[in-house]
Structure 1
Amino acid sequence: MSRLQQIVAGRWFVPAVSGTLIVLSWVAGGIEMALVGAILMVAAAVVAGWRIAVQAVRSLLTKHVGIDLLVSVAAIGAIIIGNFWEAAAVTFLFAIGHALEAATLNRTRSALAELVAVAPDVAVVLRGGQQVEVGAGDVEVGETVLVKHGAKVPVDGTVVAGTGGIDEASITGESMPVDKGEGDQVFAGTVSRSGFLQVRASGIGADTTLARIIHRVEEAQDAKAKTQSFIDRFARWYTPAVLLLALIAGLVSGDVVLALTLLVIGCPGALVISIPVAIVAGIGRAAKDGILIKGGEYLETAAKIDVVAVDKTGTLTQGRPRLTDVVVLDPALERADVLRWAANAEAGSEHPLARPILAAADAEGISVALPEHVHPIAGKGIEVMSAGHRVLVGNQALLEQFGVRDDGGAERAARHLADGGRTPMIIAVDDTVVGVIAVADTVRDDAATMVDQLHAAGVRRVVMLTGDVQAVASAIATATGIDEVRAALLPEDKLAAVQELQRAGHTVAMVGDGVNDAPALAAADIGVAMGAAGSAVAVETADIALMGDHLLKLPEAIGLAKRTVSVMRQNIAIALLTVVALLAGVFLGGVTMAIGMLVHEASVMVVIVNAMRLLRRQRAAGSARRPRSTGSAVERRPGVLTEG
């Protein structure tokens, strides 16, 4: 497209030409060239109004009576009765309104434009032992891509060698670079700030996280909220009503100018743009902050959330159990001896809690021997043969099964650890109880702050839904300020809990990992996926996807939704009050067609400026505080603790 064609196609070309013709008409009138002035004024009306008229005709052909029809009828009627200035003013100001609307929507879509801008163009891959530069879309899955300092990551993939710091702001909204090493995941569109990485490509082109985000934001900004759908229905009967009012007023008063003025004054331009501009701005702001909201309807629903249900493991807690306690009960042994026996037993176990025990032994320099025999016992623990000794690791029922006598010390220690939110495991060697060890999944540092900020954002109750036992769940609730705990739940129980809250009249958001929480997530009014950057399913299916693994994004999302809906309501009020005031002014006298359009455009500007406030980043509600305690819950062996 040539430069001239770009200018003609630009949104401001028509208003500029029409405005110029109006000025020339005034000049001609000033030098007593009335006919030339009239022709120029009509030309100004035609230039500004022909697109409006074409749109009105197209709408009529689809049996839709829109705002364009009001403006077209008013302008044509004004020309017929010789009010050329009014015709030009109406169409010129309406054309400016269209240009402002387009400019504003483009401005509020800036988040999408920024996401597209960070998409990488080239990649450096290893082929035949040589570094080859290719287009980012030409990388093949499984190839090794080199990411050097300052370069954009061109694909989704896993680091296979090297270390470096990656700026993931375009994906997660996190401002600080994230350290990456072997086994870590990286995303297309992020930027290397230090180091050198070799990445095995797993997602390219449209299969990258960035591409999915762009697609989701694009869809979401075009999706309508319930309020916007209501206004569309409102406009379908409002426009014919204004036409009928103008016709009756003209017939009763015999004043054609009055009828035409009513047509112009009745154009709710600000009402038409009030909702779309707020939705686009709100969703755009969220995308910049690493929060994907599926559409206007979900944005509006999120503003009504008064109960938040959260999973425990991996949401309120780190999801990575660690060894917290080693209680020595045999005076002949040291702490390291008890840990060594536990690690020797767990070296042959596939249970998730084996990993933190082995990691602790390794960190303390304790050598671990593989067991000669491993016998898992469902619901109780594990029996192994190690260095010629029978080692039991499990609960009190395991000791009873093998006839191991406990004087009560192990049971008391285990109960004390469990009450503190830890998972206890009794260790017995041959027929002697030697100690108790415990593991715990640590509470996230920002979990308590998240609960505070949810309350500050208007959420009345935060409910924990977990499969873990009551003692562990209660310890987490104490540490974080959770309002209500429902423990020992199966996936279907979590679903029932969400439905029960909904029947009680609450608007419920469910936050979970999307696997065992899938039924509850689907049933909730808003399903929230955390840490969704690496999950294509989460990005596509969640109503709200928090791209980073940051708890404070949840209250931020709810707060933004409430601000957006508040702006929508303010805009609707501004638009309707403007129309009512102008209509009253017409009947009472003093408001002309040109004045009415000028006030209309002023109201459009007010609505736009009001919506643009959403693009500013707000500080999260609530104040940060330190967690109440460090105890937390973990998964455990069947019969001891269950995964939450």
Structure 2
Amino acid sequence: MVKIQLFFTRQRRVIVVLITALLVLAEVVRWSGQLAVAYQITMAVAGVIGLLPILLTAISSLQVRLISIDVLVSIAVIGAFIIGEYNEAAIVTWLFMFGEVLEDVTLQKTRSAVKQLADLAPQTATIIDKNGMTHQVDVDFLDPGTHVLVKTGAKVPVDGVVITGTALVNEASITGESRLVDKQVGDEVFAGTILEDGTVTVKTTAAGEDTTFGQIIEMVETAQDSQTQTQHFIDKFAKHYTPVVLLVAIMVGILTQDFRLAITVMVLGCPGALVIGVPASTVAGIGNGARRGILFKGADVMDRLRHVDTVAFDKTGTLTEGEPAVKTFLVLKGDRQAIINKAVAIERQSDHPLAKAISAYHPQKDLHPTAIQTIKGQGVRATIAGREYLLGNQQLVSEVVAKGSHLDREIGRLTKAGASLVIFASADQAELAIWGIKDQLRPRAAGALQQLKQLGAQRLIMLTGDNDKTAREIAAALPIDEIHAGMLPADKATFIKGERARGHNVAFVGDGINDSPALAVADVAVAMGSGTDVAMDASDLVLVRSDPASLVGGFRLAKQTVKNMNENITIALLTVLLLFIGLFAGYVEMASGMLIHELSIIVVIINSMRLIKYSSKN
């Protein structure tokens, strides 16, 4: 029977077309004023064709002890055949089958965001073998370390690192932003992005489903198949509602002795719009978010997000760029460019974030430091052209710079301003300079946080492992209500647990491995897309663009999606109520009632599809 069911499911649209043709033929015969028997036979054939797939589904439902909508319709149609109402049977089955086809089309439409993403995924890659020859290979067969050639106009087929060449890459499929990003040797590239100009060789780090792009698609597909608390409620409601309708129909038949009325109660009691309304909203809402780089990992995340009253943020990489930049450069002794040349040459040997900030300067001469010695917790000692230089904190240079100097005053001023300091000094005291380095606030952070408050976030909290002075310097430009500095990862998790114990619904936004304990205990865990894999794995919501403004979009979309679900539920229940009132008042019959019922499904579907075009900027 399973094979037969599968056949009918696949041929559902064909069946609807066939029944439609038979109904038209029957009406033509009826309006000709002759062949009444032919009219009845044609309607009966249409009814039987429509009943078969519905009846098979009903039998399957009863086998697992579930009285589904198909059971109600099957009994009603069989009853219509018994009383000789072949036209009613045909019209009811046609409307029911047409409604199912419409639901399928709608879900396909609302899943269009995932399909569009999947279509962007490249299927093949041009690899370079050990002999320098190129070959076309399916991306699923690529291993990490494989060298892939990408030319102008092609999609990058893998996640990897550029090892030769330069290019301008459109990363809209990953970040949602269509601006071109310059890629040099050592830069990361992602599968699904488009190389607009240039040619590069990429060393593969991930391919196929393991790429960032592949994980995004999988994440969205999983989320669209998940259920909200509202959907769980509707499923339970429908499970008990259907037997109740059947029981009411039996009681009506017994009390009124009107078999036709009892059958009509079964038909009109079908909660079709109720069943399709919530999943259609869910799929459309999550698909909308996916196109905007707002990845909900489950439909239930929307339920939880709209109840959040407290949002806690990690500082570095979340509210700030996470990439310190030089804000102040003071030369106290020596030539400015000469100091830059030497400092950059030394700091290029280090991966420390502060060293990277200084390395961003452009030297005019390539120097080669020797005898490089890293002094833990202080900095670096190096020799250039036979002269010794120190680059690090105040403790490191104290041996060559006397206390009470102009340097001390500048250190005090810059420290008060919340800057991290790097001091350059030559051992012979001929050169001395100081860099004031700060992490940069994300451009749209202040506006995004203000909008969160307008959307119902009563408290905005910063949780950071940085010192209090630096934390307050950053928070001064933001509408932050509370600052908690000097916190270890476990401290952040403990704080969030405490807030939840006090009755608050807490969302935590982070990006690093150290944020994963806090993300794990929050009501809603939000990860920046630029963060670590661990943070994203522990999250409920991923902001691909790493922009706090995307969190605002997520809040709005969650509220709008749940509102849309509730609208659909209201439409469905009101329709059933009005149909029953009309039935017992004598204004509604089986076929007309079924038509109104199917029209309510169309209304619910159209309402759900509004979410596809919804802009979170509204």
- Structure 1 and Structure 2 fold alike (TM over 0.5): yes
Q: Identify if the C-alpha distance between structure 1 residues 129 and 424 changes in structure 2 by more than 3 Å, giving closer, same or farther.
A: closer
Distance 1:63 1:322, change over 3 A: same
| Pair 305,150 (structure 1): closer, same or farther in 2 beyond 3 Å | same
Alignment counterpart, residue 154 of structure 2, candidates 147, 151, 155: 151
- Report the RMSD for the aligned CA atoms in angstroms: 3.0
Contact 1:414 1:426 (C-alpha < 8 Å) held by counterparts:
no
Task: Output the CA distance in 2 between the equivalents of 1:197 and 1:399.
Answer: 44
Tell me, yes or no, if the aligned pair for 1:348 and 1:371 is still in contact at 8 Å.
no
Change (3 A) 1:372 1:27: closer
1:403 and 1:168 map into 2 onto residues whose CA distance is 49
Query: Size of the alignment, in residue pairs?
Result: 608
Structure 1 window deviating more from structure 2 (75-84 vs 501-510): it is: 501-510
409, 412, 416: which one aligns with 1:415: 412
Distance 2:382 2:155 in 1: 53
The answer to whether the 8 Å contact 1:347/1:369 transfers is no
> Counterpart in 1 of 2:570?
573
In structure 2, the CA distance between the partners of 1:131 and 1:339, relative to structure 1 (3 Å rule), is closer
Residue 202 (str. 1) matches residue 236 (str. 2): no
**In 2 relative to 1, CA 522–323 (structure 1 residues): closer, same or farther, beyond 3 Å?**
same
Say whether the 8 Å CA contact 1:306–1:461 is kept in structure 2.
yes
Change (3 A) 1:406 1:368: farther
- With 413-422 and 286-295 compared, the bigger mean Cα shift is at 413-422
| Amino acid in structure 2 at the alignment position of 1:192 | L
Cα distance in 2 between the residues matched to 1:490 and 1:226: 34
1:167 and 1:178 in contact (8 A); partners too: yes
Distance verdict in 2 for CA 1:471–1:124, change over 3 Å: same
For the 8 Å contact 2:515–2:535, the answer to whether it is kept is: no
Amino acid at match of 1:482: I
Match of 2:583 among 560, 569, 586: 586
- Who is 1:46 aligned against? 48
Question: 2:557 is matched with which residue?
Answer: 560
Distance in structure 2 (CA, Å) of the matches to 1:50 and 1:211: 40
Q: Distance in 2 between matches of 1:476 and 1:21?
A: 72
State the partner residue of 1:531. 529
Q: How much has 1:369 moved relative to structure 2?
A: 4.5
Contact conserved, 2:174 with 2:193, CA < 8 A, in 1? yes
TM-score by length of 2: 0.90
Cα offsets for 1:95-151 (capped at 9, x unmatched) = 111011011001111112212222223322222222323333344432221111111
Alignment correspondent of 1:545: 542
1:552 alignment partner, SS class? helix
Counterpart position of 2:3: none
Q: Which SS does the other structure have where 1:72 is aligned?
A: helix
Tell me, yes or no, if the aligned pair for 1:118 and 1:189 is still in contact at 8 Å: yes
**TM-score in terms of structure 1 length:** 0.86
- Counterparts in 2 of 1:349 and 1:122: CA distance versus 1, 3 Å: closer
Q: What is the Cα deviation at residue 382 of structure 1?
A: 4.4
What is the CA–CA distance in structure 2 between the aligned matches of 1:113 and 1:61, rounded to whole Å?
35
Q: CA deviation at 1:497?
A: 2.0
Aligned-partner Cα distance in 1 for 2:55–2:524? 42
Whether the 8 Å CA contact 1:343–1:357 is kept in 2: the answer is: yes
Shift of residue 322, structure 1, vs aligned partner: 2.3
Q: 1:639 maps to what in 2?
A: none
Shift of 1:363: 3.9
Contact 1:209 1:536 (C-alpha < 8 Å) held by counterparts: no
Q: Structure 1 residue aligned with 2:37, among 27, 35, 54?
A: 35
SS in 2 for 1:548: coil
**C-alpha distance in structure 2 between counterparts of 1:268 and 1:6, whole Å:** 25
Cα offset, 1:584, TM superposition: 1.7
Task: State whether residues 388 and 427 of structure 2, in contact with CA within 8 Å, keep that contact through their aligned partners in structure 1.
Answer: yes
Q: Are the aligned partners of 1:268 and 1:575 in contact in 2 as well (CA < 8 Å)?
A: yes
Residue type matched to 2:542 in 1? A
Residue in structure 1 matching 2:228, options 225, 228, 236: 225
Q: Distance in 2 between matches of 1:465 and 1:374?
A: 31
Unpaired segments ≥5 residues, structure 1: 622-644
Distance in 2, matches of 1:173 and 1:39, equals 58
SS at structure 1 position matched to 2:548: coil
Q: 1:181 to 1:398 in 2, by over 3 A?
A: closer
Q: How far has the Cα of 1:519 moved from its partner?
A: 0.2
Distance 1:392 1:163 in 2: 32
Matched, 1:235 2:234: no
CA shift digits 1:549-581 (9 cap, x unpaired): 333222212211111111001101111111111
Following superposition, the deviation at residue 494 of structure 1 comes to 0.9
Moved more, 225-234 or 578-587: 578-587
Contact 1:348 1:370 in 2 (8 A): no
Q: Deviation string for 1:499-529 (max 9, x for gaps)?
A: 2222233322222124000100111112122
Residues 154-192 of structure 1, C-alpha deviation per residue, up to 9 Å, x if partnerless? Answer: 222111111222222223222223222211222222222
CA distance in 2, matches of 1:350, 1:123: 32
What is the Cα deviation at residue 203 of structure 1?
A: 1.7
Asked whether the equivalents of residues 424 and 437 of structure 1 are also in contact (C-alpha less than 8 Å), the reply is yes
Query: Does the CA contact (< 8 Å) of 1:453 and 1:620 recur in 2?
Result: no
Q: Structure 2: how far apart are the matches of 1:13 and 1:22?
A: 14
CA distance in structure 1 between the aligned counterparts of 2:110 and 2:334, rounded to whole angstroms: 68
Shift of 1:80: 0.9
What is the CA–CA distance in structure 2 between the aligned matches of 1:383 and 1:130, rounded to whole Å?
45
Question: Relative to 1, partners in 2 of residues 1:235 and 1:8: Cα closer, same or farther, differing over 3 Å?
Answer: closer
- Separation of aligned partners in 2, 1:421 and 1:537: 30
Q: Which amino acid aligns with 1:320?
A: E
Which residue of the partner structure matches residue 67 of structure 1? Answer: 69
Q: Contact between 1:159 and 1:180, CA under 8 Å: does it hold in 2? A: yes
For 1:116 and 1:145, how far apart are their aligned partners in 2? Answer: 21
Cα–Cα, structure 1 residues 320 and 295, in superposed 2: closer, same or farther, change >3 Å?
Answer: same
- Aligned mate of 1:132, from 122, 130, 135: 135
**1:92 maps to which residue?**
94
Aligned equivalent of 2:503: 505
SS at match of 2:195: strand
2:618 maps to 1:603:
no
Q: Distance in 2 between matches of 1:138 and 1:344?
A: 42
The residue number in structure 1 matching 2:185 is 182
The one-character-per-residue Cα deviations of 1:281-308 (angstroms, maximum 9, x if unpaired) are 1111112222221121123222323322
Residue identity matched to 1:17: L
Letter in 1 for 2:456: G
Cα distance in 2, alignment partners of residues 170 and 346 from structure 1: 35
